[in-house]
């Protein structure tokens, strides 16, 4: 008998061999939504997930606002949604996948507010660090360099 825990819902589903539609839903948990506010105690977050998929993340955008290449493979829908209640002067988003080659795409409010990151200089985990983060909703994709490579990760967001 298989058990799946749906993160954020506190639900355990058992006996999935008899319910294939539920089994396919349980393989991809719902997106993690979180809210940060620069003028409160909620200025950081940690979310988890699984990288990969066969969708080319470069099809979202080829280069970010700073000219960095956007790359990797993931799911067509974002893995996480971050809401900034007010502007942050600095933010850092860092993936920890225990050494897998990861990528990040963060698509924020406004047409040209996209930031991309990937592992560099012998560090395979993606990092996006920058200034001037306007308030609003940010969609976050955590991908892998290799298509359909599923690896667990932990994404840390801090001011």
Asked whether residue 142 carries a pLDDT value surpassing 50, the answer given is yes
Per residue in 55-106, pLDDT tens? 999 999 999 999 999 999 999 999 999 999 999 999 999 999 988 899 999 9
The mean pLDDT of the chain is: 81
Which pLDDT does position 110 carry in this prediction? 86
pTM of the predicted model as reported, rounded to 2 decimal places: 0.78
Reported confidence tier of residue 14, pLDDT bands at 50, 70, 90: very low
What CATH number should be reported for the domain whose range is 31-158? 2.60.120.380
**pLDDT computed for residue 33 by the predictor:** 87
Domain boundaries, the chain: 1-30, 31-158
Q: What is the 3-state secondary structure (H, E, C) of the chain?
A: CCEEEECCCCEEEECHHHCHHHHHHHCCCCCEEEEECCCCCCCEEEEEEECCCCEEHHHCCCECCCCCECCCEECCCCCEEEEECCCEEEEEEEEECCCCCEEEEEECCCCCCEEEEECCCCCCCCEEEEEEECCEEEEEEEEECCCCCCCEEEEEEEC
């Amino acid at each position: 008998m298989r058990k799946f825990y749906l993160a954020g819902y506190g639900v355990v589903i058992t006996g999935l061999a008899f319910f294939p539609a539920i089994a396919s839903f349980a393989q991809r948990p719902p997106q993690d939504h979180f809210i940060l506010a620069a003028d409160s105690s909620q200025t950081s977050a940690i979310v988890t997930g699984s990288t990969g998929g066969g969708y080319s993340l470069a099809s979202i955008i080829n280069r970010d606002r700073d000219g960095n290449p956007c790359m990797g493979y993931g799911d067509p829908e974002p893995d996480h949604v971050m809401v900034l209640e007010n502007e942050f002067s600095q933010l850092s988003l860092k993936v920890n996948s225990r050494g897998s080659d990861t990528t990040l795409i963060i698509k924020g409010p406004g047409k040209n507010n996209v930031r991309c990151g990937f592992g560099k200089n012998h560090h395979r985990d993606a990092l996006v660090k920058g200034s001037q983060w306007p308030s609003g909703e940010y969609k976050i994709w955590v991908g892998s360099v290799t298509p359909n490579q599923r690896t667990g990760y932990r994404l840390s967001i801090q001011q």
